[in-house]
A and B are shown apart, each in its own frame.
Chain A
Amino acid sequence: MGEITAPIFTRERFLNLRGVRWRIDLGILPSAPGSIEEFRRVAADSRRRYVNLRRQLLIDPHLAKDESVVPDPAVENPLSQNPESTWGQFFRNAELEKEVNQDLSRLYPEIGDFFHDNSIQSMLGRILLVWCLTYPDFGYRQGMHELLAPLLYVLHVDLEFFSQIRNLHEKHFLTEFSTSPVRKKDPFTLTPRILDPEIRELFLLNDAYGAEGELGIILSDKFMEHDAFAMFDTVMHGLDGPVAIAEFYSMAPLADSNAGLTPVREAALSLYHLLSLVDSSLHSHLCELGVEPQYFAMRWLRVLFGRELSLENLLIIWDEIFIYTNETPKGYLTRDLDHISRVLCSSPRGLIILSMAVAMLLYLRPLLLSSEHATTCLQRLMNYPGDVDVKKLIEKARSIQEFALDVYLTSENQLGKRKSGTFLNSPNFWEEKWRVYQENESVHEKKSGNEPVTEKVKKVSIIEKLKRGFSKEKDVSKNNKEKKDRWGTIRRVILNENVVFDSKSVTRGDPSLSDEVTATQVTCNLNGCSNLSDSTESSSGVKKEEEGELEYDEDYKSVLSGIEEMYNQIMKNGPGVNSHNCPYCEVGGNLEVVDKELMAKLRSLGQSMFENIQVIESEVEQSKGMILENVSSATSGGRKKKGVVAALKELRKISSFLSEI
């Protein structure tokens, strides 16, 4: 073997070693070093920095600072109230330490073997103390320990991994003459025996005799504290980039904040701003309930989601967050928008954090929309479900981030132009699908021949369809049924009320259209379109039957046109998405649900519907007798009766669903 050529590192080399990867991402270790020596040197420098800080700040009043200067007992006594006295500093440190230790004792109890080990706890305590004393403006706030813990953990995991590899290759470290393995033998002579270049490199990085000696070992257990401090410092201070988590802990308003709010509140507002662009109905729902963003965002942002997810998931999320650099891309400025926090919106890392938060909100969307009170919403937000699929969350966050990059950052040339903030600029996926489907159906219907136009036959056919609808509903799963009912209710409600569409001109009264509308389900699980018309037609027919007042054709048609309009309106916004498993929908991303006003209207309609049902029921009771007398032939009358009763039952069910919305 000749010389060992200098490897070219990129972070890809260290896919197994999260600690090293994060250190490269955060900028502690060089991302494109020329050689192993340089790599090690940078590591050694950062460690030296920590040692100096520690020596300076963790004061032991017993050790004389300077032998030549005799400390004045009047100042340097333990009870001294002189602020300069080292004893005073010592007692202040002791108080801080007490606070820190109290928090640390409660850290990650589920992974107690690691985090509650005494040496680890004291390490964490020292790191936090040194950091807080280095930045006295921030002091120690609860939450910093949660931010620090995973950083230490990944370093520990790396070390374990490395020791495993070392054990595997133990035989290379044995010499012929020694009985015990000689671990510190010069790897330059040994490495020829290790064939895998990556493993060889790993050993070179951790060689005790390489550049900077022991201080340069990349994966060193002696310097875990130092490395963790460096990582913590970078995360908190962002290395001169805009995102500094430390800002979220400060109580003082940012200098350039418009409303004089603290940074964390500004960030929370920008979170809501992004949410409003991505999913305005959820945003307005939350605003209406009075769920202020900082209630939950403060915890999310201060600990970078540490309290919401399990440690494994958290590590994956942080992988994603740290990939993005913290610097504002060159030639880009933040747009001057209201309620935008410079902190989070100026750099890709900030944006991914924001997008991750929005993605998490969207994941909880159905739960949030269904809560009526702010407390339930907050409860759900604060107790984030543990079984969340992190990969999906990350993908969603990525797509939101790309969008956000467009919205918040602009190149200097384009200053002044403002992009519209709709999330999906392409035409709605579902609109396309519905259009295509309609075309197909119309073709199909024309072939099979239209339904007869006469009144009575129509009524019969409607009832047939109703029955078919019911049987179909029984087959479908319960989830779908609920959804269907919900959508069916919208139709029925509108029909019952006849409020919204009382005097619409008949635009399209051809039976072909009506049949389209009554056509069968869409194949996709999403039941926005399915069975709507089925039930609507049937119910309309039934209703007319029961009340027997309105002329069939006219109202039918007007109602139909109303339905059409309603439908189009809804389709534009997109049918509601309730965690269904359709593969199409993930592409489509977020489709907005029916407007908030509509929901409120529906609720009130549900109420009135229930009253109507009661009225109708009583009427039916009365008219039952009448029908039996009037109609001689049993079949159609019987069918009608059955239809009426069944429809009533259905309506009852639906009204209960509606009232639950």
Chain B
Amino acid sequence: MKLLLIVGIFSIFCVVLGTDNENARLLASKTILNQFLVEDKDLTVQYDIYNVGASAALDVSLVDNSFPDSDFQLIHGSLGVRWKRIGPSYNVSHVAILRPKKPGYFNFTSAELSYLPSEAATEPQLGYTSAPGEGVIANFKDYDRKFSPHFMDWAAFAIMTLPSLGIPFLLWRSSKSKYDGARAKKSN
């Protein structure tokens, strides 16, 4: 009985602590959608922002400074955007396409988020997205060797096998036609 009472009080305590206050609360994730990270090939970064709070988040800005110009080129989309309002229980997603300039290890770190948690708020709330972690950007040559169709290589191979197949075949053909010609003459 006492245990039940303690468990009951504890759970009420947890529920009270767990309920959001009236403010907005944004959770943001950053993911790299690529199956393979390759030098000079598109790198797809997706940012998802979820409002798990009870009210709308205002003046939301997402800025990602973690891709230096020396290592990445921005192809499509933008790394700094803002939304006027993200309603409660809403989510938005944002995608950008980059191209790695160099192969090697790269640590993908978080992007920065700032928003006003309520209409009355004056100070912006700052936050970070999740970080995808370290990734390996493969050399283009290695990727190409593994995945490209190699049409020219196979065509060259076919041409190289032609002598070893073609010469015996032609020899047989010429002797066969001579033999058939001789046989026809003989039977006549």
Mutual binders A and B: no
Question: Which residues in B have some Cβ–Cβ distance to A below 8 Å?
Answer: none
